[in-house]
Structure 1
């Protein structure tokens, strides 16, 4: 049995009863967070431009595409360090499109979502961080694999069909890290969601791939990952659950995950020491290698670049006392207060910032030192930002983020509140189309 068959058998036979309560709870949190950032993302320019590429009414594949664009448009979606991916971003839109196509219920949605992200996270650990470090943007490179399996489960494909969906998807890797800081990211995430869905439909129609496509000669790992393949992780599907081990990080701020710890450190210093922006002479930030390799824009010219800029993140924290959706505006980026402070922020790599035994839990740690004009300096280290698996957001924080995203996306508060309640117990949803109905940016009819 090759890797695709092993994965496919697990996907095709997964049911809700076999998902441990903690895993199910983590999945439900990812669902509510994912739907929230999807609603907000529909209010963006990149979503409007992507919508012009589709027809009306939308087919299921186009729905997967636009859902994938929206959910990643603000870089506010969850992160897993199993492969360094935004797992929900590619899988959920493909699964929702497949469930809606089949007129599925919430139980099917939950099963298919868990199947898709668990395959994605297992694949992330199987190929190791080498794939990401080599320049692949694994959210899409691997996300298409998770999307194909999630869609296959939602469409009710048999194991041999699911294996072929996975083989077909593995032939379509896409996404390069050079795209960070551009609207290519949400667009490509939409493409991955659509192609994952289409791979499942193609397999359903009888199109087949070659056994060994993932780990064989001239296969995925051979061609794209220098042959690196730690296949034992795939044998633990259903025993090790990526949703809880290593877990998923839910963002508090709509910037790259690599900026989250530094933002938290800066906000804490600002509050503790009553620091005003004009008090700051300079800021030194030390980050892990993953932090510095992701945040490459010192002087960002656009909001997508600013979301990958440590100077912008720290400047916003100091000027506004928050880094939220309201700060993702061109007038904020170009304001004198922000541009002055950005010029005073320096980021450097510190490989010794995190002890070797803590690196799994703190891959994007940061230390911030603020030098004040009076000659004093204050410092703070945040190893794992709030929202990381070891420091999860509270139920109330997740709900507050969801409602904030709904407001940003123009969704009526009554609808948003009803939808939040529904998503807290997704297995009870009779028709998944109800999610899109409640998330529509218009008042609820009387």
Structure 2
């Protein structure tokens, strides 16, 4: 029987959440924070944090900064900073992301409401994933346009905020209705075709959700959220959809990650380097081919490309944050393979999307030999999830050169339910700077 949504939002306790979902909530938080640390040195993050500080005055600390903004401004800055590096978790049925919207808003609202109970914060995060997953399914099932994640994740933020600010049932309904009405119904494929700093609407959704809560608390009314009912809600409180989120081993669009896996497999299996390869050909689904920038000028263009990170994988044997930014964008060997790469649609891959993301790769070697891959999917899907050690290794790899106390962050997150928020808060509200080759920071 369906659990009442309002009761689920306000009455769920940490002990009600199965232990696997509790562990997953901690790993999701760690992964989001690590991705945010990796995104903080980007120009996107620097601009949005300056904007939030200048235009959203307040006393709430911004993630990965020493300055403050309002709760809505801190949510905006944090959401866009995590989204600045496309390496955070996602949900296949939604073709989008929950955590990047929910976590920064949750932390901002927790600060403003004085909530330092780690178990409560983890519970609220889990509620955000459960509500957000079902909102996403419902909106995608009932509207023809492909909208960014902020459209529905704003409503999840409102649900989490209603819990933290202790809104009553009527106010909670209004908050969710306001957030649904004002959530960014921006066009995702427009961002795919023209990659810029707009990204996936995470920051705007986060900001809209916080604003909706604060408006509802003051008596502002909103039409009932259409997405808070339907078949997707029938298993609320029984099936824990936080367990159905995927993680990303690479900081690029999920649609490009199956070709990366195929190339890495062929590279290792045949003991190849990029110098052996004349051309790479990819057969995959339509949306992956729409990631068409083969000579990115910015990290945003590199993150929303299929050919460029696949070429990076062939040349460097991996794809990390520094492989899709700065000097790497002009690497002549990467560009040689990216510019000549052939991409074609595969009917079976199209039919399987979005629940599955398939790709095959063919390498034409300079010797004339052809190496063909099997059909690959991205790694770390919920059907074959990463281990805790995998997520911790990714976190360490992406943060070690940026945050001197990265290991302490890991310890604070994994012990959050017992030690509370204070140890973590002292570590995440400080500037992140990337060291240059000269050893200086910027």
1:284 partnered with 2:281: yes
Q: Quick one: structure 1 residues 422 and 40, their matched pair in 2 at CA, closer, same or farther if it must change by over 3 Å?
A: same
Superposed displacement of residue 97, structure 1: 0.8
* SS at 2:196 equivalent: coil
Contact 2:283-2:344 within 8 A present in 1 as well: yes
Task: Indicate the residue corresponding to 2:119 in structure 1.
Answer: 107
Matched, 1:97 2:96: no
The CA RMSD over aligned residues, in Å, is: 2.4
Q: Which residue of 1 aligns with 2:414?
A: 424
What displacement does 1:60 show?
Answer: 1.9
Contact 1:8 1:160 in 2 (8 A): no
What residue in structure 2 maps to residue 70 of structure 1? 81
Which residue of structure 1 aligns with residue 183 of structure 2?
A: 173
1:130, distance to aligned residue in structure 2 (A): 6.5
After the TM superposition, which segments of 4 or more aligned residues of structure 1 sit over 6 Å from their partners? Answer: none
TM norm structure 1:
0.86
- Rounded to whole Å, the distance in 1 between the matches of 2:33 and 2:221 is 33
State the distance in 2 between where 1:279 and 1:13 align.
60
CA contact (8 A) 2:75 2:206 kept: yes
Query: 1: CA distance between counterparts of 2:220 and 2:432?
Result: 41
**Counterparts of 2:275 and 2:432, CA distance in 1:** 42
1:371 aligned counterpart, secondary structure: strand
Q: State the partner residue of 1:57.
A: 68
* Paired residues of 1:288 and 1:363 also in contact (CA < 8 A): no
Secondary structure at 2:409 match in 1: helix
* Alpha-carbon distance in 2 for matches of 1:179, 1:442: 27
Alignment partner of 1:314 is 2:303: no
Query: When the two structures are aligned, how many residues end up with a matched partner?
Result: 413
Larger deviation, residues 52-61 vs 169-178: 52-61
1:296 to partner: Cα distance: 3.2
Cα shift at 1:9: 3.0
- Note the residue ranges of structure 1 that are not aligned, 5 or more in a row: 216-228
Q: Which runs of 5+ in 2 are unaligned?
A: 54-66, 434-442
The corresponding residue for 1:257 is 254
Change (3 A) 1:317 1:12: same
Question: Within the alignment, does 1:84 sit opposite 2:73 as a pair?
Answer: no
- Paired residue for 2:140, among 128, 131, 151? 128
Asked if structure 2 preserves the Cα contact closer than 8 Å seen for 1:82 and 1:122, the reply is: no
- Map 1:180-219; keep pairs closer than 5 Å: 180=192, 181-185=195-199, 188-211=201-224, 213-214=225-226
* CA distance 1:160–1:9, change in 2 (3 Å): farther
1-structure distance, mates of 2:266, 2:241: 34
Query: What is the alpha-carbon distance in structure 1 between the residues aligned to residue 255 and residue 385 of structure 2?
Result: 16
Cα offsets for 1:117-147 (capped at 9, x unmatched): 211101122233564x62311x111111111
> CA 1:252–1:129 in 2, change beyond 3 Å: closer, same or farther?
farther
